[in-house]
């Protein structure tokens, strides 16, 4: 990073089949592909000083210069909402997100989101990478998923953390309760994931297309008609754990999107019905961008996760 609002990337190998916008989206996962395309169209992203299109294929030796525009004010309003903070300093904070909390405001969720809470808690000290003062959201958790989430307070921290996520240098370990008796005891799920061909809000394992996805898992405890598993994410695709365990035939307990039939069966056999998908971001480890030391955080299970285990033991 040559200046506070500029990033320079030198391409180390040619990518004849990859578009510039997709390449940059992978490098900065917190920024949408649409936002990248707008920056390219506006001339805020140039290759060797030249204006290019989003369809440009990166070639070895090219220098990509990204000028991050000053952030527009966030439309979300600050709200005083309690946060379970695991760690905080001048550069970042790590939260234990409760289940049910939406991360970003959206249609139907304009208030009471994590962004509203962060705007109040950090009082303007938040990164604006991507052109909008959206409080340093470097990675995301589904509304119903609980656990560890890191937030960047400034642009250099945001860019450094994004690079660690893109470079698979962040350790992400989840705990999940899934339907059925998982076998074998441990294994790797390597199956590409893409948007479902007909259900556009769902993802699916696909043959011959989609993005590489890799989950390593191990069984922690066998339950009645269910299994507690630990999952290590080597990649970070949308709904990855939910889709991968559905692919194995063991959808998450409480996941109506990917395991409605198996969950109805679970309730018939045990009498237990989960109110959300039982997925918890248990552990997060990364290198602190300024201090340079490895930081490791663990978030305790929320009450409903513990209640599910008690009911299924």
Annotated catalytic residues are 142
E strand or H helix that includes residue 312: helix 303-312
Q: Cα angle vertex 251, ends 250, 256, to 5°?
A: 155
Query: At a CB cut-off of 8 Å and minimum separation 6, what does 149 contact?
Result: 94, 95, 96, 97, 103, 114, 139, 140, 141, 281, 284
Q: Which two tokens stand for residue 299?
A: 């978030």
Q: What does the alpha-carbon distance between residue 257 and residue 149 come to, in Å, rounded to a whole number?
A: 23
CA-to-CA distance for 9 and 12, rounded, in angstroms? 9
Half-sphere exposure of 33 (CA within 13 A, CB side): 8
3-state secondary structure of 72: strand
User: Taking the CA atoms of the chain, what radius of gyration do you get in angstroms?
Assistant: 20
* Cα distance between residue 59 and residue 219, in whole Å: 44
How many C-beta neighbours within 10 Å does residue 310 have?
A: 10
Q: Where are the beta strands (DSSP E) in the chain?
A: 6-10, 45-47, 63-67, 85-88, 92-97, 146-152, 171-179, 186-190, 193-195, 203-205, 214-223, 226-233, 279-287, 294-298
């Amino acid at each position: 990073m040559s200046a506070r609002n500029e990033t320079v990337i030198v391409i180390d190998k040619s990518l004849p089949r990859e578009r510039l916008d997709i390449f940059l989206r992978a490098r900065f996962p917190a920024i949408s592909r649409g936002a990248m395309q707008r920056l390219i169209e506006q001339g805020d992203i140039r290759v060797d000083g030249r204006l290019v299109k989003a369809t440009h294929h990166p070639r070895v030796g090219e220098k990509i210069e990204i000028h991050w525009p000053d952030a527009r004010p966030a439309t979300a309003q600050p709200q005083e909402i309690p946060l379970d903070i695991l760690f905080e300093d001048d550069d970042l904070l790590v939260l234990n997100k409760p289940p049910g909390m939406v991360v970003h405001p959206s249609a139907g969720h304009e208030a009471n989101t994590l962004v509203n809470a962060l705007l109040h808690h950090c009082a303007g000290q938040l990164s604006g990478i991507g052109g909008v003062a959206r409080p340093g959201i470097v990675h995301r958790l589904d509304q119903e998923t609980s656990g560890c989430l890191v937030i960047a307070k400034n642009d250099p921290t945001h860019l450094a953390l994004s690079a660690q996520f893109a470079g698979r240098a962040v350790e992400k370990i989840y705990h999940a309760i899934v339907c059925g008796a998982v076998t074998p005891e441990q294994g790797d799920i390597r199956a590409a994931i893409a948007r479902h061909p007909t259900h556009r809000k769902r993802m699916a394992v696909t043959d011959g297309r989609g993005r590489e996805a890799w989950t390593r898992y191990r069984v922690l405890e066998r339950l009645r008609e269910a299994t507690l598993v630990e999952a290590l994410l080597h990649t970070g695709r949308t709904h990855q754990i939910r889709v991968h365990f559905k692919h194995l035939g063991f959808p998450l307990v409480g996941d109506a999107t990917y395991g409605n039939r198996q969950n109805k069966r679970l309730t018939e056999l045990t009498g237990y019905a989960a109110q959300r998908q039982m997925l918890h971001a248990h552990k997060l480890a990364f290198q602190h961008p300024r201090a340079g030391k490895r930081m490791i955080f663990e978030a305790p299970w929320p009450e409903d996760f513990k209640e599910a285990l008690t009911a299924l033991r």
